Structure 1
Amino acid sequence: MFILALALAGVSTLDRCLASGDAARGVTDAMAACYDADYRRADAELNATYRTTMRRLTPSRQAVLRAAQRQWIARRDAACPLDLSPGAGTIVRLDHPACLSKQTVTRIAWLRRYR
């Protein structure tokens, strides 16, 4: 049991989701739900990290960070376009939230170091 716990400790929530149920069988809706949940988790962590970072800053540094965060959101959205055109395929349902999650996790690390 201890070995199983250790093995699962290194597995992300996304990986566990993708390895279970319909997602493990390659059902797009289930896989998309896994990626969407992963992005929602990352976005919640980003918002909590942003609030924590803002609380420790002076008002002038808060203004700088607020402006930087707005610029980052625009860059994130540009880096992760959502292609809903005919023929785009179902992979966009996985790629888009995966891209958003990756950008968000990187931003969380940046916010934690921001002074």
Structure 2
Amino acid sequence: MAIAMVSLSAGLVYAHPQPQDQKDFDDSKAAAQSCPGPQIALEACESSIYHSLDTRMGDLYKKQMARLGPESKAALRDAQRAWLVFRDKSCDYEAGKDPRGYMLVIQYTCLQDTTRRRIEDLTSYIECTQNGCPSE
């Protein structure tokens, strides 16, 4: 039953459409599906995937910041800080107090899902070349 719950929560991670041209998404998705079963190994695997995504997000954030003027940099910095608070609080809530002991796995899958969505946002900012794009 506990494994089914983890499988269900892990499935939610991939309910959102993923960009087809982002190899990182495909790699992290495949890695999550190949995480081993024992809880401690599963936690380590999910943590590793999350930290890889977090690094990717940080790289994209820096790339977008390099393109911006002072006002837009301040706006993106403030947005990113607010997003980090949202991500952490939302995933704390989602993980809850799971009596079966899978709180960390649920939390890491939430962090992965939320970070993937932020990667999509940052990627779209970087790729935007039309009027109205968030750049200066």
Give the structure with higher Rg (CA): 1
Structure 1 CA distance, aligned partners of 2:44 and 2:116? 18
Structure 1: which 5+ residue stretches go unaligned? 1-8
Structure-1 residue corresponding to 2:14: none
2:26 is aligned with 1:15 = no
Of 43, 46, 52, the match for 1:41: 52
Structure 2 unaligned spans of 5+: 1-25, 126-133
For 1:45, the aligned partner's letter is R
Percent identical among aligned pairs is 28
What is the CA distance between 1:33 and its match in structure 2? 0.9
Deviation at 1:84, TM superposition (A): 8.0
> Is 1:56 matched up with 2:74?
no
CA distance in 1, matches of 2:118, 2:99: 28
Query: Tell me, what secondary structure is at the counterpart of 2:57?
Result: helix
- Count of residues in Structure 1 that have an aligned counterpart in Structure 2: 99
**Secondary structure of 1:80 counterpart:** helix
**1:28-85 Cα deviation digits (max 9, x unpaired):** 0111111000100010001101000100111110000000001101111111007686
Correspondent of 2:78 among 54, 67, 77: 67
Question: TM-score when scaled to structure 2?
Answer: 0.65
Structure 1 letter corresponding to 2:44: A
**CA-based RMSD:** 2.1
Give runs of ≥4 in structure 1 deviating > 6 Å: none
- CA–CA distance in structure 1, aligned partners of residues 51 and 42 of structure 2: 14
* Alpha-carbon distance between aligned partners in 1 of 2:99 and 2:76, rounded to the nearest angstrom: 36
